[in-house]
Structures are given as C-alpha cells and as structure tokens.
Amino acid sequence: MLGAALEVIRADGADRLTLGHLATCAGVSKPVVYDHFGSRSGLLIELYRWIDTERIDTFRLAMAAAPKDREETIACLADAYIRCAADLTGEFHIVGAALAGSSEKAEVYDELLGHSVAMFVSVLRPFCDLSGSAATRLCTGLVGAGEALSAAIVRGKMAEGDAIGTFRDMIDSSLT
C-alpha cells in the first residue's frame, strides 16, 4: 500500500492522497486501509518512515558495493547527505510538508534523525577511533551540521557545492 501511496503523490500530489483514494489505487477495501493506517496522518507518517528507510538503505548498499578509502567515504557521505537533505522536490519533503501541523511530525522527525546518526556511525566507524557513545555524539553533531548546511542552501544563503565542501571538511577534521 505504501508503494501505491507514493505513486499517488508522484502522479497527483500529496493533497490527493486520502485513505479512500489509496484504497481504490491499491485495489483493497477502505476498511483495510483504515485498519492499517488509522488516519491520513498515520498513512503519511508510515510513508515518511518508509521513504527515509529506503534512502538510508540505498546509501548503505552503495557504500558497501565497493570498498572506499577514508577520503572517498567522506566525500560520498557529505555529497549524498547534503543533496538529499536540501532536495525540496523529492517525495520525502512533499510528505513532510503534508505532515506540517501534525503533532506526531516532530517525534517522527527525531526518530528519522536518529536513523541518520546511526548510518553515519556505521559508515564512519572504520575511520574513527572513538568509542560507541562518543562516535554517536560526534555523528549527532555532524548530522546537525548537515541539516544546518542544507537549510542554508534552501534559504538561498549558500551554494550547494560550498555546503558539500564544508560538510566534507567538517567530517574529515572531526575524525581522529
């Protein structure tokens, strides 16, 4: 059903994504959709989580596909994170915007930032001598910096290339 929901957003926009319309598009009855998601906010939250998980899994697979040295790993991580976080045209941001005003959005957003921190820890662990908790604290700061740099791009305060380069330098200089 989440795949069908994503197709509705791609074809018709987030406003058209209702539980009734999803039932029709997914070829299931309305009670099935209502029982599964409960509400439109529930649907959007599950879709938000699903898209985020797909993005992180895709990045992890790309990183694992071919061994990369420290410099390549850092460059790939900085580029992927900044481009992804600053992309306001993608489904992730469309669903996030549709969730605006939802009381659950802040909680879900925190959860998804936690996934990003865990991904940073796993990708950077081979290049870092920090303990588990210290590595998590460092990566929490790095994710926060990536979010701030991405926001600067969105607000027109920084060029994408400058943000990526700055983030790459921050990651590189923070690893010991």
Domain range for residue 10?
1-38
pLDDT for 78 equals 93
One domain, residues 15 and 76: no
One domain, residues 141 and 55: yes
Mean pLDDT throughout 82-89? 78
One domain, residues 18 and 102: no
Q: Is the pLDDT of residue 168 over 80?
A: yes
Which long-range CB contacts under 8 A does 12-21 form with residues at least 24 apart?
A: 13/94, 14/44, 14/94, 14/95, 14/97, 14/98, 15/98, 17/43, 17/44, 17/98, 19/43
CATH of residue 164: 1.10.357
One domain, residues 13 and 56: no
The 10s digit of each residue's pLDDT in 91-135 is 777 787 787 777 777 788 888 889 899 999 989 998 988 888 999
pLDDT for 91 equals 76
Q: How many residues does the chain have?
A: 176
Mean pLDDT throughout 159-171? 97
The DSSP element (H or E) to which 47 belongs, if any, is helix 40-65
The 10s digit of each residue's pLDDT in 49-62 is 888 888 888 777 77
One domain, residues 70 and 157: yes
One domain, residues 50 and 26: no
pLDDT for 64 equals 75
Confidence of residue 74 (pLDDT cuts 50, 70, 90): very high
* Per-position b or e across 149-172, b if 16+ CB within 10 A of its CB: bbebbeeeebebeebbbbbbebbe
Q: Is the pLDDT of residue 142 over 80?
A: yes
CATH of residue 1: 1.10.10
One domain, residues 32 and 69: no
One domain, residues 65 and 78: yes
pLDDT for 158 equals 96
Confidence of residue 138 (pLDDT cuts 50, 70, 90): very high
